[in-house]
Amino acid sequence: MSHRTMKDVKNIGLMGGTFDPIHMGHLVTAEEARQQFALDRVVFVPAGYPPHKEKGAVTDPEHRYLMTTLAVMSNPFFTVSRVEIERKEASYTINTVRYFAERLPGRRLFFITGADAILEILTWKDYRELLELCTFIAVTRPGYPLDQVCDTVAPKIPGLLEKVHFLEIPALAISSTYIRERVSRGLTIKYLTPEPVEQYIHKHGLYLPGKKDCSVEKRL
Ligand code: ATP
Ligand code: MG
């Protein structure tokens, strides 16, 4: 993310995820949020060592970073940040949002998540500060109807509905888990993820059975 290009940017969307691998569900979500909320930029933030997932259970962060970079290349509004993958410790969303809030004062921050992730919000560290620092855009995801989210989460947090906007996107029942399973079974993943990502996965033999954590040389 270059500071020169970030200068005139006012509304910034942050899209956090494991991105193991990134897929069309993530991209459609980010693009719809960008347009609906007039975001000047969407920054994809691949997680380093996700606190809610077992260490070693996810693919090397460098692979995930490179696949995310390949996926967003064709969209001038999209960029990728290394902030979480540079951290050695578990990456909590609050640290990432604080990082962007400090470095980009005067900007309005939006955190884009799927409906399943917003359901986890109560388990997130410092969620109250999170709600002060950014506005959430919670998008529909098959299996997680928005009504259910409103009914379960909203009554528990006063004022939540002012800080969380719900957005319906064209339903895409794609998950990274589904893609990993298909690759391991030798099934095609064409059109589930952008072609450069598909090629990267095959080139590096990611998600093949018996190849749990594929490492890549650090390119720094
Ligand atoms: P996994 O199956 O490994 O959990 P995932 O597909 O859920 O992967 P994540 O990297 O965990 O992908 O998700 C990052 C963010 O994108 C989360 O907020 C998640 O809710 C959202 N998301 C993922 N897939 C979709 C989808 N198909 N539609 C809408 N949102 C999605
Ligand atoms: Mg997930």
Assess if residue 22 is contained within a domain.
yes
Assess if residue 19 is contained within a domain.
yes
For 195, the 3-state DSSP assignment is helix
Alpha helix segments (H runs only) across the chain:
3-6, 24-36, 61-72, 83-86, 93-103, 115-119, 127-133, 146-153, 160-163, 176-184, 195-203
- Cβ atoms of residues 132 and 108 within 8 Å: no
Measured in Å, residue 179 CA sits from the centre of ligand 1 at: 12
Assess if residue 49 is contained within a domain.
yes
Measured in Å, residue 1 CA sits from the centre of ligand 2 at: 25
- Reading the block at residue 166, the tokens are 């719900």
Assess if residue 181 is contained within a domain.
no
Residue 29 beta carbon below 6 angstroms from any ligand 1 atom: yes
Residue 33 beta carbon below 6 angstroms from any ligand 1 atom: no
pLDDT at site 53: 62
- Work out the average pLDDT over 188-209: 97
pLDDT at site 51: 60
- Reading the block at residue 142, the tokens are 């098959």
More confident residue, 3 or 92: 92
Residue 137 beta carbon below 6 angstroms from any ligand 1 atom: no
| CATH code at position 90 | 3.40.50.620
Assess if residue 209 is contained within a domain.
no
**pLDDT tens figures, 101-143:** 999 999 999 999 987 777 776 677 788 898 899 999 988 877 7
d(Cα 115, Cα 139) in Å, to the nearest integer? 5
Assess if residue 40 is contained within a domain.
yes
- Reading the block at residue 119, the tokens are 């359901």
pLDDT at site 5: 61
The closest alpha carbon to 168, from 145, 152, 150, belongs to: 145
The closest alpha carbon to 136, from 114, 152, 157, belongs to: 114
The closest alpha carbon to 81, from 17, 142, 139, belongs to: 17
Assess if residue 1 is contained within a domain.
no
Q: Which of 9-18, 81-90, 132-141, 158-167 has the highest mean pLDDT?
A: 9-18
**pLDDT tens figures, 157-181:** 777 778 888 888 887 889 999 999 9
- Reading the block at residue 23, the tokens are 């897929």
- Cβ atoms of residues 137 and 112 within 8 Å: yes
Q: Which domain, by its residues, includes 104? A: 6-173
Taking the CB of residue 135, how many other CB atoms lie within 10 A of it? 17
Query: Which residue has 């995930």 as its token pair?
Result: 64
Assess if residue 151 is contained within a domain.
yes
**pLDDT tens figures, 21-73:** 999 999 999 999 999 999 999 999 999 875 666 666 889 999 999 999 999 99
d(Cα 217, Cα 220) in Å, to the nearest integer? 9
Residue 139 beta carbon below 6 angstroms from any ligand 1 atom: yes
Number of domains in the chain: 1
Lowest mean pLDDT among 69-73, 96-100, 208-212, 214-218: 214-218
DSSP secondary structure letters along 126-182: THHHHHHH-EEEEEPBTTB-HHHHHHHHGGGSTTHHHHEEEE--------HHHHHHH
